[in-house]
Structure 1
Amino acid sequence: MDYEKLSATTLGDNVHIVVRSGCDSFGKFMSIALISERTDHFRDFSVWPRQQDFNVEGWIQNFAGSELLVAKKLLASFTYFNKPMTAALMRHSVQKFLSSAWGNHAFPKPPTSADINSVCFVKCEGEDPRATDSGNLFARKLRDELRVPDNNIMAPAEALRKAAHFRHYVFVDDFVGSGNQFIDTLKRTHSAATPYESFESLLFGDKHTVSYCPCVATSYAQFTRISSIFPKVALYPAHVLIEEHNATLPNSRVWHGMSADDATRAIELLRSISKRAGYGEDDGGQDAWHGFHGLGLTLGFEHGIPDASLPVFFSERNGWRPLMRRAS
């Protein structure tokens, strides 16, 4: 199965059923009752989680009647990756790395257990590493879903200390939006690590390779940020989000079926709604109405929603009811 198509079309088509019949042009509405019916359908088939984890009914109540079309368009474009889909994306991403490595002269074919033992899977860490970091979650998924031995899964500092034992380093994560966390992980120095104090210094040599295997990546993170700063790092995302996934652009897929003028008006209304939800800044920061780095995504995972997604999906400010809650 092609998991890139699975994430982009199978789930997307299911979600689009929610409102497609009533949102073909600006100003046409579909009944809330039909939204509730479709929502129940997706929950019954475990495409969407329980109401307390994905609160469509409460979220819709945030919007005034004149704003419902925007709400429905956003909901129609929202892509939710449940637990099995997230695991499938992770497997596909790691398999892309392994296929590339085994096609290289450094790996004989077919691969042996000794080849796999030369690979160290590394957790991505936030600016202040915490137990709740998504890298820890995916370390467990590597062990449980792909049967990667615990000895081949490490935190960055430990992985650097054991550089003599490995040839290939593979970072895994659910989502890369801006690339900040991964870039910071590579640049972070570890005084106790020898012979390399950081992965940035390790990349200066030619004894090791560094790869990044996120489930989903933005083209902005992959090409504008990571590849420009660390050209020797190979990225193997299972699915890539391009500019047309940004809901704050008139050519976004979110506004499909609208004229450019209608899409522009809808975006201005979204901006006003976002300000009411407590996010009114334009700087692409943590309070930006269009999401972190202005990426304007409509994306969530079973374990949380990225800060690159639109804040109207996760805000709890000013009494706003979130569609999904951010991980604390």
Structure 2
Amino acid sequence: MRADMYVETVLKKCDLFSACSLWSREPKVRPRAWLNNFEASERPVAAMLLDHFVYFDSEATNCMLASTLRCLAAQVREYRGEDALRQFSRDAVFTPVLGESPNPTDSGGLFCRKVRQVLCIPDTRFVSLNRAYELAEAGVPVIFVDDFIGSGDQMASTWEREISPGQSFKGLASNSYVDATYLALVGTESGCRRLKDDFPELRLLVAHTLDNSNSVFGIPSNPLNPDLDDMQNRVRQLIQKYHSKLQLPPYLSTANERMYGYSGLGLLLAFEHSVPDASIPLIWASGSNDWTPLARRA
């Protein structure tokens, strides 16, 4: 397809997503303003990134959250029976996944709140990680909740974190049975595989799995593409050109992370409530010279 026609086709698709309420309306998602960050000759390449951008609004997020919990209930019913499911549903507690450097604004806390709101679960069923460990020792089911699995670092850090000297969920699980589940809305294939391999005692349920086609390393994968050669190299050059102009958090310390996001995953993903830092900063970061993010990271 002619490059200028491709840009307009992608923008019309974005307009349709907004009109159908699949995407939040401006200013939360700003495809036209974002494309205007780039020179005219670069916009077909940027439009390719926009064409592969995956966005989940709050309604979709709530639906995926409910879906993972229904899936968990179905598994408990299948393997343990109806009576065990009733006990599980009555006793299980929820706890957030902590960041590598825990912060009150980590997404796990938000999703504990979402679980309470969407499923009307009492406040008493939401506990701190320390209390969750105590209850797990007593045989109570523990459910970790979060929105996104990228590299798997956050859950690995939470599972291995010392609650007190010599005590962690990992240590507890190595010595006795622990009824622990990790629920996430979206996860990368590599992150999910890592958690399953490294922590087999932890039940993992994810509503939507991302493969390589959801990153900048897997495009172009659509049959409808701009009439340009060597698109993968053009994408790399675009990211290289603009990443140094973006205002990025200091923990994205390597050149690879500053170009492709946390752990160099290069994702093109956003939720209405925020954007994972494993998505390329080009879509979420602020920048100089009136740079407009596609979807701002809260």
For residues 256 and 108 of structure 1, do their structure 2 counterparts lie closer, same or farther at Cα, with a shift above 3 Å needed? same
State yes or no: 1:322 paired with 2:293.
yes
Report what 1:308 is aligned to.
278
Give the deviation of 1:111 after TM superposition.
5.1
Tell me which of the two structures has the higher relative contact order, counting C-alpha pairs closer than 8 angstroms and 6 or more residues apart: 2
For residues 84 and 109 of structure 1, do their structure 2 counterparts lie closer, same or farther at Cα, with a shift above 3 Å needed? same
Report what 1:227 is aligned to.
196
State yes or no: 1:138 paired with 2:107.
no
Judge conservation of contact 2:76–2:84 (CA < 8 Å) in 1: no
- Cα deviation, 1:28-55, whole Å, max 9, x if unaligned, reads 2238777666555443432222322212
Judge conservation of contact 1:203–1:210 (CA < 8 Å) in 2: no
Report what 2:236 is aligned to.
268
Q: For residue 199 of structure 2, what is the amino acid of its counterpart?
A: F
State yes or no: 1:97 paired with 2:68.
no
Q: For residue 43 of structure 1, what is the amino acid of its counterpart?
A: S
Give ranges in structure 1 of 5+ residues lacking alignment.
1-23
Please report the TM-score for the alignment, with normalisation by the length of structure 2. Answer: 0.86
Report what 1:10 is aligned to.
none
Report what 1:178 is aligned to.
151
For residues 112 and 293 of structure 1, do their structure 2 counterparts lie closer, same or farther at Cα, with a shift above 3 Å needed? closer
Give the deviation of 1:117 after TM superposition.
2.7
Judge conservation of contact 1:300–1:306 (CA < 8 Å) in 2: yes
- Counterpart pick for 1:48 among 14, 20, 23: 23
State yes or no: 1:240 paired with 2:240.
no
- Say which SS state the counterpart of residue 211 (structure 1) adopts: strand
- Cα deviation, 1:129-187, whole Å, max 9, x if unaligned, reads 33321111111111111222322222211111223554322211111111111111111
Judge conservation of contact 2:112–2:126 (CA < 8 Å) in 1: yes
- Cα deviation, 1:213-256, whole Å, max 9, x if unaligned, reads 10000011011x21232122221101111122221245x53686
- Cα deviation, 1:72-93, whole Å, max 9, x if unaligned, reads 1111111110011001111111
In 2, Cα distance between equivalents of 1:138 and 1:180: 18
In 2, Cα distance between equivalents of 1:99 and 1:29: 49
Report what 1:126 is aligned to.
99
Report what 1:114 is aligned to.
87
Give the deviation of 1:110 after TM superposition.
5.3
Aligned residues: 293
In 1, Cα distance between equivalents of 2:244 and 2:160: 38
Aligned CA-pair RMSD: 2.8
Report what 2:188 is aligned to.
218
